[in-house]
Chain A
Amino acid sequence: MYAYDEIDRTLVNERVSEFRDQVKRRLSGELTEDEFKILRLQNGVYLQLHAYMFRVAIPYGTLATNQLRALAHVARKYDRSYGHFTTRQNIQFNWIKLAELPDALEDLARVGIHAMQTSGNNMRNVTSDQWAGVAPGEIEDPRIWSELIRQHTTLHPEFSFLPRKFKIAITASDHDRAAIKIHDIGLKLIKNEKGETGFEVLVGGGLGRTPFIGKTIKHFVHGRDILSYIEAILRVYNQYGRRDNIYKARIKILVHELGIEKFSREVEEEWQHIRNSSLQIDDEVIEDIRSRFTYPAYEKLPHMPDELRQAAADADFEVWRKNSVAPHKVQGYSIVTISLKPIGAPPGDATADQMDALADLADKYSFGEIRVGHEQNLALPHVAKRDLPALWKALDKLGLATPNVNLITDIIACPGLDYCSLANARSIPIAQELTRRFANHELANLIGRLHINISGCINACGHHHVGHIGILGVEKNGEEVYQITIGGRADEGAALGNLIGPGVKFDEVADVIEDVVEAYLALRERPEELFIDTVKRLGVEPFKERVYATR
């Protein structure tokens, strides 16, 4: 965990008081809606279909239990007792009153949580691997660098009014759980031949209307230079990024229009001017941040405790364990993923009571720490293996032990027409129907790892382009129509999916997905060949034939 000190707390409080003043000026009419819009967005406040929506940052996905309880409190006091965890390591509240927002922010500030720059054309919440610090084989904890960058990009005086939003993600593992290739800047922590820490830097990834996979702009930037290098990228983007057309304003378009070589020359030139400035970070600074991350006092525990051996007789426990428990870098411990995708429910929702109860469980079994992942699930990062059976029982009582992580019902979905004012189609009901269709665990398990991602419009909040199966809602002659892509992925092998044919109606989506899955089961070479690999081997055609032959 990272501990805020007095300096960080002061900044957050100053921000809350500024926003309180801005809300007051808006309510009195001193600020027009047009003026206020940008200011509220910079504080995570959207005006949605039914009410104001409030988006709170969870930097690099790490939460302490008192912070989770504060989120539960906000849900209960200012909203309708639930929150929605999103693909951006944020939580959104959908029914909040503008006049109460400053109070909600103040309540969160007490535990070091804020909503700064969770929206608007500035640098957004820095995201990272939800298993950071505990994943076996990572180079080092990427959150140390995430925190450095979080600080640097917070209220940055040059980059708070960029052409468009800007997202940075960091991973330190070969298996990329942070989706760095679909971010404006993706950073992969690596070591060079001399054993020095640095980054491979990718730029220009992003989804939305014009999706791109990020390209490597530099194979190695030393850790001490990472802030100046990011600053150089942003300065080039701020000056040359398009502002004439919001659909073309993201950095991915600039990189695409200039070409990565020309873009990187511009960045290089800018960087040479600033790399030896005060932006250079010395070891002492990074050590200071490192020292403010605390790690659990792990015990020396056996690899296979008796409790686990005994629980193995319980078939339901075993199903959950196989699905939701991952190896930890410390012997005797595990990482437990908590599915927020129960059958028939909106993906990513958690009630205030669930949040409080989870906080209690995290105190009891995970050294007071919770993680939020971009798949809209939570995780307990430090669970002793001997506690797994007891934890499972407790989670099950809360409705949080659905054993479907990474299976077909672990669906990522944006809010769509149910909440979002930009939507063309519903997302949540499609997700709900699909979870019912594939509710049978045996079937889901037989299918294996398969990610379905759903967006209610071209903006791609549900990451549909990078779903193994992607579902995009569009509007055609006043009707909701869904386009289906296959073959996308968001990990280290990131790729955009391909369309399998014409769009289908709302009522047909689940049938079509069933057809796609049946086609896969018939086409795969062996049971171990994952959906995504079969698509890679065979392309779209056989799936298209199967789905459209009978339609």
Chain B
Amino acid sequence: MPLVNGGKIADDSFVKLAVDTPLPESGDVLVPAERFIAEADALLKRTGKVGVIWPNNRDIDELVPYLGRIAAVALVFPTFRDGRAYSQARLLRERYNYRGELRATGQILRDQFVFMLRAGFDSFEVKKQADAEAFMQTAKRYSVFYQPTGDGRITALHRRMQLRHSEGVGT
């Protein structure tokens, strides 16, 4: 599965560990939530980055105390029609100010990129190669946004206000 990171197809430095795979000496690891919670201290002590795979039905509050020390959170879309991880993403970014990598995993198609970017994702394990290649083009599909979200894009309402004020100043 190709990874898109920072807008480009990129190599994945993280190795995904199962619940019972032995912990490698070094290197970046991505571990399931339950293992992360159980072994957080050991995981965070080793060299190499730690990321966590957080299921979409587990309360994100549990993860909050660790956010400053982890490098990646991978949220899960078991199917692309299950949108719970969008809420988790926004909470992580907007309420808990998480600034590390926020990765979308599962059934990720190009048709969700705009929604995901707006919700705060910056990294994507894309299901189809062609979709990964179309990332930049698809991500730029929309130039108008109606809702304020943590991605900081200006909303239509505020763009109108700006236009109105600049007209006001001119005349």
For residue A39, which residues in chain B have a CB less than 8 angstroms away from its CB?
111
In the complex, A442 has a CB within 8 A of chain B: no
8 Å CB interface, B140-171 against A: 141-149, 156-157, 159-161, 164
For residue B8, which residues in chain A have a CB less than 8 angstroms away from its CB?
none
Is B144 in contact with A157, judged by CB distance below 8 angstroms?
Answer: no
Can you list 28 A-B contacts with CB-CB less than 8 angstroms, sorted by A residue number?
A10-B144, A11-B144, A14-B143, A14-B144, A18-B141, A22-B111, A30-B130, A151-B156, A156-B147, A157-B90, A157-B115, A157-B116, A157-B147, A157-B149, A158-B87, A159-B86, A161-B81, A161-B82, A161-B83, A161-B115, A238-B84, A238-B86, A243-B82, A243-B84, A279-B148, A285-B157, A285-B161, A288-B157
For residue A239, which residues in chain B have a CB less than 8 angstroms away from its CB?
84, 87
Is B86 in contact with A157, judged by CB distance below 8 angstroms?
Answer: yes
Is A10 in contact with B143, judged by CB distance below 8 angstroms?
Answer: yes
Is A7 in contact with B147, judged by CB distance below 8 angstroms?
Answer: no
CA distance A161 to B145 in the complex (A): 17
For residue A436, which residues in chain B have a CB less than 8 angstroms away from its CB?
none
Residues in chain A within 8 A of chain B (CB atoms): 5, 7-8, 10-11, 14, 17-18, 22, 30, 35, 38-39, 121, 151-152, 154-162, 235, 238-239, 243, 273, 277-279, 281, 284-285, 288
In the complex, B102 has a CB within 8 A of chain A: no
Name A161's closest neighbour in chain B (CB-CB).
Answer: B83
Residues in chain B within 8 A of chain A (CB atoms): 80-84, 86-87, 90, 95, 109, 111, 114-116, 118-119, 130, 141-149, 156-157, 159-161, 164
CA distance A152 to B155 in the complex (A): 10
CA distance A38 to B149 in the complex (A): 24
Is A158 in contact with B144, judged by CB distance below 8 angstroms?
Answer: no
Is A154 in contact with B146, judged by CB distance below 8 angstroms?
Answer: yes
Name B164's closest neighbour in chain A (CB-CB).
Answer: A288
For residue B149, which residues in chain A have a CB less than 8 angstroms away from its CB?
157-158
The distance from the CB of B57 to the nearest CB of chain A, in whole angstroms, is 8
Is A7 in contact with B142, judged by CB distance below 8 angstroms?
Answer: no
Given contacts A11-B156, A22-B111, A38-B81, contact A235 B87 (CB under 8 A): yes
Given contacts A39-B111, A151-B157, A273-B95, contact A161 B86 (CB under 8 A): yes
For residue A243, which residues in chain B have a CB less than 8 angstroms away from its CB?
82, 84
The distance from the CB of B50 to the nearest CB of chain A, in whole angstroms, is 25
Given contacts A7-B160, A273-B95, A288-B161, contact A158 B90 (CB under 8 A): yes
Q: Count A-B contacts at CB 8 Å.
A: 91
Is B83 in contact with A159, judged by CB distance below 8 angstroms?
Answer: yes
For residue A161, which residues in chain B have a CB less than 8 angstroms away from its CB?
80-83, 86, 115
The distance from the CB of B4 to the nearest CB of chain A, in whole angstroms, is 17
CA distance A273 to B130 in the complex (A): 40
CA distance A319 to B121 in the complex (A): 62
For residue A10, which residues in chain B have a CB less than 8 angstroms away from its CB?
143-144
Most buried by B among A30, A152, A239: A239
Most buried by A among B80, B82, B146: B146
Most buried by B among A10, A158, A160, A161: A158
The distance from the CB of B54 to the nearest CB of chain A, in whole angstroms, is 13
Is B86 in contact with A277, judged by CB distance below 8 angstroms?
Answer: no
Most buried by A among B83, B90, B156: B83
Name A288's closest neighbour in chain B (CB-CB).
Answer: B160
Given contacts A273-B95, A278-B148, contact A155 B142 (CB under 8 A): yes
For residue B109, which residues in chain A have a CB less than 8 angstroms away from its CB?
35
For residue A162, which residues in chain B have a CB less than 8 angstroms away from its CB?
83
Q: Which of B142, B147, B164 contacts A14 (CB 8 A)?
A: B142
Q: Which of B80, B118, B143, B160 contacts A157 (CB 8 A)?
A: B118
Is B141 in contact with A14, judged by CB distance below 8 angstroms?
Answer: yes
Most buried by B among A7, A121, A285: A7
For residue B90, which residues in chain A have a CB less than 8 angstroms away from its CB?
157-158
The distance from the CB of B124 to the nearest CB of chain A, in whole angstroms, is 14
